[in-house]
Structure 1
């Protein structure tokens, strides 16, 4: 009797293993779902391109083009929402706000003074589009951007420190990045963005009425971030 039972078990064992394998193959692990609300923090480095232009009308026939070019670290918060489609495309929207330590002190050629420039904060509201490779999501992004930009003339004479520009610039931003969900809730990212915050007139004209004087600001940003998916 024991011999018969042992023989039966040996015959049925391969059948049982095959059935288990079939069940396993029929129940694949579910792919990661990018849909949902998320929020997090980010930090990085911004290299700015900025130019102070003062027209010739008020200063004896010579235009002034002074490069300002602030740079430095940025850090802030972001919040967004993704919707993954059936074809693995992911569409979303994101907003961010960052404190900026983006500044520079340069020589104001011909004026015997220094120019101190500083971007105090920046932010954006953007659309995003990407393609999900399970837990990895490369994407592109674009939208509107704003930044608070200050320019100050620093002299050693009686004038001292003279603020000549303190305005919020409004422009656009575009870039690309990649995210990876290393757990179901935590997502790491790296992103490059180019932002053009436009050109504005100086808040305080330097050389009398009728002089055209403007300042612009553009930045190249590299940021890394950490998000929590709700």
Structure 2
């Protein structure tokens, strides 16, 4: 009798274990996240904020302003949007990569020139291009936090206006300026080949000298204006990974 009960319990236990293993809710496992190693291409959009400081450092005829004449400062804001491409390499929980990003911009700003209150200076950051290295840590197999740093380039349209009435354009200029950038962001790989990200970037383009004629009637003297430009950028984007 004892042997019969033991045999019955063994058969019952074996049947329960077989049924448990066959249960699809228990057997089902979450699909593993694919490696971050590979390349990607995508698009981005967001906002940009600029800040400009200006000083007149001298005249074209050789006269030096010492100390430089303060021309004031101004801030701007506007839309940015563009594309990025890059490649990553995963080492355990660390991800390293390189990236190129290009954005069109419409970051407009203006300010009154302190030394000449009848003149306004306007600037518009039209293009931004960065080449950066990127290093990140996987807080989750699908969630990457990262920092980035590298070189930056900006195209800026500027204009000097005589404030009215009547308002008139005194002079305009368009120039490119090299600088550097640092940034921080997070990226979520929501599917095998797709990820979304959000990031903040700071760019410093140093100083650029532009020649403007503030008072054509005063001997035709032209001033050399030193312009220091910084840009901040906050964007979200989508990447296709391959």
Normalization by structure 2: what TM-score? 0.79
Shift of 1:204: 4.5
Between the aligned partners of 2:236 and 2:122, the Cα distance in structure 1 is 28
Measure how far apart 1:107 and its partner are: 2.1
The answer to whether residue 84 in structure 2 is matched with residue 72 in structure 1 is no
* Preserved contact between residue 165 and residue 204 of structure 1 (Cα < 8 Å): no
Instruction: Point out where structure 1 has 5 or more consecutive residues left out of the alignment.
Output: 1-6
Per-residue deviation, residues 56-84 of structure 1 (Å, max 9, x unmatched): 64789871232132221111111111111
- Native 8 Å contact 1:169 1:200 kept in 2: yes
1:144 to 151, 162, 178: 151
Match of 2:4 in 1: none
Which of 40, 45, 48 is 1:46 aligned to? Answer: 48
2:182 alignment counterpart: 174
Shift in CA distance, 35/67, structure 1 to aligned 2, threshold 3 Å = same
State the secondary structure of the residue aligned to 1:50.
strand
Find the counterpart in structure 2 of residue 214 from structure 1: 226
Larger strand proportion of the pair: 2
**Post-superposition offset of 1:33:** 1.2
Instruction: Compute the TM-score of the two structures, normalised by the length of structure 1.
Output: 0.83
Kindly indicate whether residue 136 of structure 2 is the aligned counterpart of residue 130 of structure 1. yes
Find out whether 1:12 has 2:20 as its counterpart.
no
Aligned mates of 2:226, 2:16 — CA distance in 1: 82
Q: Is 69-78 or 141-150 further displaced after alignment?
A: 69-78
Contact residue 205 and residue 229 of structure 2 kept, 8 A: yes
Contact 1:54-1:63 at 8 Å conserved across structures = yes
> Structure 1's 212 and 186: CA in aligned 2 closer, same or farther, altered over 3 A?
same
Distance, in Å, in 1 between the alignment partners of 2:67 and 2:234 is: 41
